[in-house]
Amino acid sequence: MGDGMYAGESALEAHGLGMRYRRGWVLKDCSFRLPAGRICGLVGPNGAGKTTLLSIMAHVLEPTEGRLSVFGAAPGSVDSGRTSFLAQDKPLFRRFTVAEILRLGQELNPGWDQRAAEDIVRAGNVPFDAKVGSLSGGQRTRVALALALGKHPDLLLLDEPMSDLDPVARQELMGALLAEAAEHGTTVLMSTHVLAELENVCDYLVVLSGGGVRLAGDVDELLSVHTMVTGTKDGEGLPVSLAHHPLVESRISGRQFTALIRPDSPATGPWETDSPSMEELLLAYLRSPDAPSLITPTAQVQDQAYNTRTVAA
C-alpha cells in the first residue's frame, strides 16, 4: 500500500478462520499472517481449501467462523486496499472483445494502467478485436492477468494462474508478475501444484492440508530450521540416535534412509546433513499429514486465543 508499507505491516491476517460447506468443514481454526510486500506460495493437496481460502480473502465467500483482515480491514472494505483476484476458471465476459474487457477494467478501476494491461496482451499477440470466447485457455489467462495487473492492486490473489500457459508464456508472465510486485510493493498470494514454479519466485509459503495450516512462514526461515539427513539404515529403520529429533518425514530406499527433521540441536552422527530445497520441504509436508505443524514467528498472529495450535520455530 504505497508509502504506508513497512516490514511489519500485515497484508493478511487470519484469526481462527473456519469454513463449512454442506458436507462439512473445509477449513478449521486457521491462523496465520502474511506480511505486506511478500510473494507467497499457497500449496496443498486437491480439496485442501486453497480456492476457498482465496475466495474468502477476495470477499467472494464469507467465513463460517473466525475473521480475516486485509491490510487491517475487512475484506472488500475501502480500507482493505485494492485486491485483484484471478480465479481458477478465469471468468471473463465471453462475448466482449479483448479491447472491451480492458475498457471495462479502465472504467471500473481508478488508477487503472492501460499501458501495462495492453503490454501484457500484446506480448502474447492476442488480437484486441478478438472475442474472449474465441480465445484459447492460455490466451484467456493472459487477458485475465492483464486485467488483474492493470489495476495495480495492493494484494494480488492468484488461483493456479499458470496452469494453462505454455512454458514460454509462463516464464514471461511470471516475470511480468515479479516486476509488478517489485515496482509497486504488491503482496502476492498464489496457489499452485507445480512446486518448481515457486522456487526463485516465492519468499513466503503457506501449506494447507487436513483443514488446517500445516506450514507458514518466510522461506529462508522455514528452510533454516529443517535438516535433510541421509545415511545407511540401522536394522529395519532410522538410527536410534536420530529419534530424539522431531521428524517430518523419513523414507527408506534399499540400505539408505532419507529423513527431514526439525532438530532442536545439531543433528550430528554417522550420516550426511544438508539443507532441504523448497521442493523437498514442501513434498515432505504434503506426504506426511501427521507431521507437526510449523507457523514461524513472522507468520503468527498476535491474538493467542486463536493461535493455540501453532508451534514456535
One of 16, 37, 49, 217 touching ligand ATP (CB under 6 A): 49
Question: How many other CB atoms are found less than 10 A from the CB of residue 129?
Answer: 8
Cβ proximity of 197 and 174 under 8 Å: yes
Q: Which residues pair with 10 in a beta bridge?
A: 35
Helix axes 167-184, 114-123, angle to 10 degrees: 160
One of 6, 8, 46, 254 touching ligand ATP (CB under 6 A): 46
Between 27 and 121, name the residue whose CB sits nearer to ligand ATP: 27
Interaction between residue 181 and ligand ATP (CB under 6 A): no
| Contact positions with ligand ATP (CB under 6 A) in 271-300 | none
One of 16, 35, 44, 81 touching ligand ATP (CB under 6 A): 44
Q: Which stretch in 41-49, 100-108, 110-118, 230-238 sits in contact with ligand ATP by CB under 6 A? A: 41-49
Q: What strands lie across the sheet with 212-218, from one edge to the other? A: 83-86, 155-159, 187-191, 39-43, 204-209, 212-218, 294-295
Shortest CB 290 distance to ligand ATP, Å: 19
One of 50, 90, 142, 226 touching ligand ATP (CB under 6 A): 50
Interaction between residue 51 and ligand ATP (CB under 6 A): yes
* Distance of alpha carbon 34 from alpha carbon 299, whole angstroms: 6
In Å, what is the CA distance from 23 to each residue of 19, 20, 53, 135, 209?
11, 8, 17, 36, 17
| Contact positions with ligand ATP (CB under 6 A) in 5-34 | 21-23, 26
Interaction between residue 48 and ligand ATP (CB under 6 A): yes
What residues contact 8, with CB distance under 8 A and at least 6 apart? Answer: 35
Residues that bind ligand ATP (CB under 6 A): 21-23, 26, 44, 46-52
